[in-house]
């Protein structure tokens, strides 16, 4: 294993854990930024410096757009109901599974660390994607899911071409823009903390709060 | 190809940035769509441009796809602007341009992951148009679910394409590998289209989004992903079947999804009272054929499946525009409240007839034959005959709409404007003001129609044209929108009949590309040469 790649993978996964566990939206966004900034570096061979620069710029833009909406110090997300320790354990387990299944049955063209981090991010994203009630958390989960999937792709199929990296960068900017757009609309619609998927939209209003799992 | 991408993405950005000023946004969007139409027409099939270590390749199919997208999109935008006035979804041109740009990129690159990433980005544009009006918690929840569906479907396809895009060694003889990858791609496409049983998010989107946005959300974006998936299955799965086996279980699962969408989509559209839901389920029903085309696993399905996609796109865009026109004209989109609509508006009745012809057709019609070929290649007897009969199920909902339309006009329908052209009243005779008139040699005078026609003696008899045009458009709003819908419906009949060079473009062979993995015995791009 390459220690530098392993460290980068650990930072990416830690960013994912912080993103989904933190209740302070700004801290969550910092975690997402760490993941998106480090993800393009988990590759062997490393992409060209210009490509890395493009990915860094796209990551910064992808995070800056939601930042516009949640930079208010009072902005809070639902955070993880399981707590950061459980999220860390889930990520660690997926990381180990990714290491054990490097290449998914055939010789990988990329580093095992990319697949490890990808598995961990995908595992982390399952919670907000399936049970997400907070718009910001669900959006972050979608970003982590795509980031994790692309890391698995790097792990099994090797370093992407520059064109693919550029399109990936645009994709992350679009994802960040949509998360910001949805979060802004959730706030405008009067959803406290962006908890728009809290069942209120689909369930009868007279249903007890407790019955909806709150 | 590059001018088209520049115009589409640049126009989308400009339109969305100007959305605080609806008139400017509409103007920029319309101009950008016209420019995109011209740029799409200028695409040269086979022309390759090296970009950032990859290549962007023009193709006849990609050109036709984008031409139809920009053309129908332009008519859709103009019709929506006229019909809905200030209530129109101002994000529509921007979302349409972004979606077309992403589709253009996806259809012109040769790498599956890049193409899928582009289609995900294009799909995200649809989320913007879902929230067209003042946001409500329900609408935001629907848009969030849409984001979830796009992310999950895209991730499935990326994982699947990456898994087999390399030398697989002994794994190449393992049917489960290709079966899982194939299933993931098929499920991803089905999920994006909202095919049954992945239709819940699509049904909610159909409820929340403006009817005019449905083609962007549920047809154009998913169709680009479907083209990529068809090419990937043709290039990465079909060639390895002799080694990996025929994947009977996986194929059966995909056929079940396709048939369920084909049959239940039509039944759901038939029983729905809301026209927007009828359009949504009609798209789901047509998507069943697309899913079936993935189940065929036969190189012969290449041309008919791509031809059917073009038919789906134009026919369903016309149907959504028809729904918008009916809603704007009669003030309701509930079918039971529309009794007598066809008597009140023969133009819209003719448009619905054309849409029905395009989406159902008859033996011998290009679109009908394409659909029949897909069903024959994807299914075996004894269910093949039943499924072939099932293609006439849309007659249920078209028949219901026609029966309601030919009924006796209700008071509300009779109160709506008819199709009879109306002339605006003669404007009052112009009175020359007593104040000093502008000089005919001054630029300021010629900036205003009124000032110019007042100050120049021989122009004074002219009517105040802008006001007359505005009044005439206002009086004949329903007729003009109906005629625009009729143009769209006519275009859909043209595509269904094999016009615009559709069948030839769809049959264009995919190029043999260097650098594929051993699993891809015949790696292919998503564009023709």
Cα–Cα distance measured from residue B190 to residue B472, given in angstroms and rounded to the nearest whole number: 46
* Chain B residues 17-76 with a CB less than 8 Å from chain A: 51-55
What ipTM did this prediction achieve?
0.88
Residue among B113, B147, B162 whose CB faces A178 most closely: B147
pLDDT at A140: 92
pLDDT at B135: 79
Answer whether B107's CB lies under 8 Å from B508's CB.
Answer: no
**Tens-level pLDDT at each residue, chain B (529 residues):** 889 999 999 999 898 888 778 788 888 988 999 999 999 999 988 888 888 777 888 899 999 999 999 999 999 999 998 888 878 888 888 889 999 999 999 999 888 889 999 999 999 988 888 877 777 888 888 888 889 999 999 999 999 998 887 777 777 777 888 889 999 999 999 999 999 888 888 888 888 888 888 888 888 989 999 999 999 998 888 888 887 778 888 999 999 999 999 999 999 999 999 999 999 999 999 999 999 999 988 889 999 999 999 999 999 999 999 999 999 999 998 999 999 999 999 999 999 999 999 999 999 999 999 999 999 999 888 888 889 988 999 999 999 999 999 998 888 888 888 888 888 776 666 667 777 777 777 877 777 777 777 777 777 777 666 677 778 888 888 899 999 999 999 999 999 999 888 889 899 886 544 334 433 433 344 444 3
For residue B216, CA distances in Å to B123, B222, B321 come to: 8, 9, 12
Q: Which residue has the tokens 């339309």?
A: B405
Closest chain A residue to the Cα of B165, Cα to Cα: A157
What is the nearest CA distance from B512 to chain A, expressed in angstroms?
A: 19
Cα–Cα distance measured from residue B338 to residue B332, given in angstroms and rounded to the nearest whole number: 7
pLDDT digits (tens, 9 = 90+) for A144-169: 999 999 999 999 989 999 999 999 99
Residues of B within 8 A of A186 (CB-CB) are: 135, 137, 140
Inter-chain CB proximity B162 and A129 less than 8 Å: no
Residues of B within 8 A of A185 (CB-CB) are: 131, 135, 139-140, 143
* Chain A residues 142-161 with a CB less than 8 Å from chain B: 142, 145-146, 148-150, 152-153, 156-158, 160-161
Cα–Cα distance measured from residue B356 to residue B402, given in angstroms and rounded to the nearest whole number: 10
Q: Kind and range of the H or E element at B56?
A: strand B54-57
Mean model confidence pLDDT for chain A: 85
* Chain B residues 282-301 with a CB less than 8 Å from chain A: none
Beta-carbon count within 10 A of B348 CB? 26
Residue among B52, B135, B144 whose CB faces A197 most closely: B144
Q: Which residue has the tokens 């640049």?
A: B10
Residue among B121, B148, B169 whose CB faces A138 most closely: B148
Q: Which pair of tokens denotes residue B436?
A: 């000093």
What 3-state DSSP class applies to B524?
strand
Answer whether B218's CB lies under 8 Å from B280's CB.
Answer: yes
Q: Is B408 exposed, middle or buried (0-12, 13-18, 19+ CB in 10 A)?
A: exposed
Q: Is A171 on the interface with B (CB under 8 A)?
A: yes
Cα–Cα distance measured from residue B391 to residue B307, given in angstroms and rounded to the nearest whole number: 16
Largest CA distance in chain B: 95
Q: Which residue has the tokens 């008071």?
A: B411
φ/ψ (deg, to 5) at B525: -85, 180
Global pTM value: 0.87
Residues in chain B: 529
* Chain B residues 98-117 with a CB less than 8 Å from chain A: 105, 109, 111, 113-114, 117
Residue among B54, B127, B144 whose CB faces A161 most closely: B54
Residues of A within 8 A of B127 (CB-CB) are: 178, 181-182
pLDDT at B25: 83
Closest chain B residue to the Cα of A103, Cα to Cα: B163
pLDDT at A206: 38
The vertex-B205 CA angle with B202 and B210, nearest 5°, equals 135
What is the nearest CA distance from A160 to chain B, expressed in angstroms?
A: 9
φ/ψ (deg, to 5) at A49: -55, -35
What 3-state DSSP class applies to B274?
strand
Residues of B within 8 A of A107 (CB-CB) are: 167, 169
Contacts of B272 (CB under 8 A, 6+ apart): B278, B281, B335, B397
pLDDT at B170: 75
Mutate to test the interface with B, among A171, A177, A197, A200 (most CBs of B within 10 A): A171
Answer whether B156's CB lies under 8 Å from B112's CB.
Answer: no
Closest by CA to B6, choosing from B76, B69, B100, B116, is B100
Q: Is B466 exposed, middle or buried (0-12, 13-18, 19+ CB in 10 A)?
A: exposed
Exposure b/e, B129-162, CB count within 10 A at least 16 = b: bbbbeebbbbbbbbbbbbbbbbbbbbbbbbbbbb
Q: Is A60 exposed, middle or buried (0-12, 13-18, 19+ CB in 10 A)?
A: middle
For residue A164, CA distances in Å to B8, B83, B355 come to: 19, 41, 39
Q: Kind and range of the H or E element at B51?
A: strand B48-51
Q: Which pair of tokens denotes residue B33?
A: 């769509």
pLDDT at B527: 44
What 3-state DSSP class applies to A151?
helix
Tell whether the model's pLDDT for residue A203 goes beyond 60. no
pLDDT at B54: 79
What 3-state DSSP class applies to B516?
coil
Inter-chain CB proximity B158 and A145 less than 8 Å: no
pLDDT at B199: 87
* Chain B residues 125-164 with a CB less than 8 Å from chain A: 125, 127-128, 131, 134-145, 147-148, 150-152, 154-155, 158-159, 162-163
What is the nearest CA distance from B150 to chain A, expressed in angstroms?
A: 9
Interface contacts A/B by beta carbons within 8 Å: 152
Residues of A within 8 A of B139 (CB-CB) are: 185, 189
Inter-chain CB proximity B113 and A196 less than 8 Å: no
What is the nearest CA distance from A2 to chain B, expressed in angstroms?
A: 22
Mutate to test the interface with B, among A98, A167, A202 (most CBs of B within 10 A): A167
Domain ranges of chain B: 2-413+476-507, 443-472
């Amino acid at each position: 294993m390459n220690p530098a790649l392993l460290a980068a993978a650990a930072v990416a996964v830690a960013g994912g854990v912080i993103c989904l566990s933190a209740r302070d939206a700004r801290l969550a966004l910092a975690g997402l930024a760490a993941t998106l900034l480090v993800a393009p570096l988990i590759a062997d061979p490393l992409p060209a410096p210009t490509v890395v620069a493009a990915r860094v710029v796209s990551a910064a833009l992808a995070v800056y757009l939601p930042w516009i909406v949640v930079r208010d110090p009072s902005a809070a997300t639902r955070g993880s109901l399981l707590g950061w320790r459980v999220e860390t354990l889930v990520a660690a387990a997926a990381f180990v599974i990714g290491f054990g299944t490097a290449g998914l049955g055939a010789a990988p063209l990329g580093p095992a660390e990319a697949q490890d981090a990808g598995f961990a991010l995908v595992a982390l994203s399952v919670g907000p994607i399936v049970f997400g009630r907070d718009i910001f958390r669900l959006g972050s989960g979608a970003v982590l899911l795509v980031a994790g999937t692309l890391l698995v792709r790097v792990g099994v199929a090797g370093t992407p071409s520059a064109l693919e990296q550029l399109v990936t960068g645009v994709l992350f900017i679009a994802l960040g823009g949509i998360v910001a757009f949805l979060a802004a609309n959730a706030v405008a619609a009067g959803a406290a903390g962006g908890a728009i998927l809290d069942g209120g939209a689909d369930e009868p209003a007279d249903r007890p709060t407790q019955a909806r799992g709150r | 190809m590059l001018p088209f991408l520049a115009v589409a993405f640049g126009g989308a950005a400009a339109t969305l940035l100007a959305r605080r000023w609806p008139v400017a946004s509409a103007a920029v969007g319309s101009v950008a769509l016209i420019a995109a139409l011209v740029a799409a027409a200028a695409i040269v099939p086979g022309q390759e441009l090296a970009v950032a270590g990859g290549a962007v390749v023009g193709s006849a199919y990609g050109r036709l796809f984008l031409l139809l997208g920009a053309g129908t999109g332009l008519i859709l935008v103009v019709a929506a602007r006229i019909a809905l006035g200030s209530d129109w979804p101002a994000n529509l041109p921007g979302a349409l341009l972004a979606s077309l740009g992403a589709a253009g990129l996806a259809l012109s690159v040769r790498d599956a992951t890049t193409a899928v990433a582009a289609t995900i980005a294009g799909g995200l544009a649809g989320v913007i148009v879902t929230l067209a009006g003042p946001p409500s918690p329900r609408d935001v929840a629907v848009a969030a679910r849409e984001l979830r569906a796009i992310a999950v479907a895209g991730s499935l396809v990326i994982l699947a394409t990456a898994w087999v895009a390399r030398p697989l060694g002994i794994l190449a003889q393992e049917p489960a590998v290709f079966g899982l990858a194939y299933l993931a791609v098929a499920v991803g496409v089905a999920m994006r289209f909202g095919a049954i049983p992945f239709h819940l998010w699509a049904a909610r989107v159909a409820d929340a989004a403006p009817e005019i946005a449905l083609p962007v959300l549920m047809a154009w974006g998913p169709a680009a992903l479907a083209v990529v998936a068809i090419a990937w299955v043709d290039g990465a799965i079909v060639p390895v079947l002799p080694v990996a086996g025929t994947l009977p279980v996986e194929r059966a699962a995909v056929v079940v999804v396709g048939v369920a969408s084909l049959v239940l989509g039509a039944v759901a559209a038939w029983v729905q009272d809301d026209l927007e839901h009828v359009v949504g389920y009609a798209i789901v029903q047509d998507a069943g054929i697309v899913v079936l085309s993935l189940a065929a696993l036969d190189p012969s399905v290449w041309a008919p499946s791509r031809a059917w996609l073009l038919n789906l796109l134009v026919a369903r865009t016309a149907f959504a525009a028809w729904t918008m026109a009916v809603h704007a004209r009669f003030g309701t989109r509930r079918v039971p409240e529309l009794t007598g609509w066809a008597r009140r508006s023969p133009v819209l009745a003719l448009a619905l007839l054309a849409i029905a012809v395009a989406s159902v057709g008859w033996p011998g019609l290009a679109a009908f034959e394409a659909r029949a070929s897909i069903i024959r290649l994807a299914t075996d007897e004894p269910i093949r005959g039943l499924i072939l009969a099932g293609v006439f199920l849309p007659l249920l909902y078209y028949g219901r709409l026609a029966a309601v339309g030919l009924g006796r006009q209700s008071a509300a329908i009779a109160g709506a404007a008819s199709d009879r052209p109306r002339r605006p009243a003669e404007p009052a005779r112009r009175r020359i003001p007593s104040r000093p008139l502008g000089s005919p040699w001054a630029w300021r005078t010629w900036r205003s129609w009124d000032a110019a026609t007042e100050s120049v003696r021989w122009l004074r008899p002219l009517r105040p044209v802008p006001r007359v045009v505005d009044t005439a458009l206002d009086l004949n709003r329903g007729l003009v929108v109906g005629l625009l819908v009729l143009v769209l419906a006519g275009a859909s009949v043209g595509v269904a009949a094999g016009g615009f060079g559709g069948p030839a473009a769809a049959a264009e062979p995919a190029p043999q590309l260097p650098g594929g993995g051993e699993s891809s015995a015949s790696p292919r791009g998503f564009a023709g040469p």
